[in-house]
């Protein structure tokens, strides 16, 4: 029992009140970790992202710095919220979010997909979102590099 190793039994009883509450607390922690770990593993492919963007059922958040987007481009329909600002942005009141990002603030039940250059920062942003209760958060591991490659390839093929 992890909690018992961290806290003496008397402390656990004080915090939770009874043995049943301690066991419930441990089950709850286990369930939360399972949900958290499941969400962390979620990633979308290029094709899935294209379909999600067409359906307009997600908010795509590009977590690169503005200069990176200016320099190389962005996935159409994405909103730029730099990685260092993601936690604060997702906790803003809706009016301030709309004013700063020109988009409606997502609710905790909305589907979010994070992207970056190559999938590292987007995964960090997804973990941040999940920790804040946004359980429908995913990331596009291929990032801008993969997107640009596929888009160029599709244009060459005339699709």
Q: Which single residue is written with the structure tokens 């590099």? A: 145
Superfamily of chain region 43-156:
Rhodanese-like domain (3.40.250.10)
Query: Taking a C-beta distance cutoff of 8 angstroms, is the pair 63, 90 a contact?
Result: no
pTM of the model: 0.73
CA–CA distances in Å: residue 103 to residues 18, 62, 74 = 47, 13, 16
- Give, as one character, the DSSP assignment of residue 135: T
CB atoms closer than 10 angstroms to residue 40: 15
pLDDT of residue 24: 46
Domain ranges of the chain: 43-156
Q: Which of 125, 118, 121, 141 is nearest to 90 (CA)?
A: 125
User: Radius of gyration (Cα) for the chain, nearest Å?
Assistant: 20
pLDDT of residue 153: 77
Is 33 tagged catalytic? no
Q: How do the pLDDT tens digits run along the chain, 159 residues long?
A: 444 344 444 444 444 454 444 444 444 444 444 444 444 456 999 999 999 999 998 999 999 999 999 999 999 999 999 999 999 999 999 999 999 999 999 999 999 999 999 999 999 999 999 999 999 999 999 999 999 999 987 777 765
- Set 12, 33, 41, 116: catalytic member: 116
CA–CA distances in Å: residue 100 to residues 41, 80, 86, 90 = 30, 10, 13, 12
pLDDT of residue 25: 47
**7 φψ region: left (φ > 0), alpha (ψ -120 to 50), beta (else):** beta
pLDDT of residue 42: 66
pLDDT of residue 157: 73
- How far is Cα 21 from Cα 62, in angstroms, rounded to an integer? 42
- φ and ψ at 89, to 5 degrees? -60, -45
């Amino acid at each position: 029992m992890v909690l018992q190793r961290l806290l003496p039994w008397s402390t656990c009883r004080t915090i939770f009140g009874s043995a049943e509450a301690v066991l419930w607390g441990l089950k709850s922690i286990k369930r939360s970790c399972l949900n958290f770990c499941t969400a962390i593993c979620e990633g979308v492919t290029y094709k899935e992202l294209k379909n999600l963007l067409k359906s307009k059922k997600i908010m795509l958040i590009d977590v690169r710095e503005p200069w990176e987007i200016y320099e190389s481009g962005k996935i159409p329909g994405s909103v730029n919220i730099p990685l260092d600002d993601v936690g604060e942005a997702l906790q803003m009141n809706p009016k301030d979010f709309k004013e700063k990002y020109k988009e409606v603030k997502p609710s905790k039940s909305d589907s979010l997909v994070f992207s970056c250059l190559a999938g590292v920062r987007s995964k960090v942003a997804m973990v941040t979102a999940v920790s804040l209760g946004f359980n429908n958060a995913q990331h596009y591991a291929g990032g801008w590099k993969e997107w640009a490659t596929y888009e160029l390839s599709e244009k060459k093929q005339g699709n």
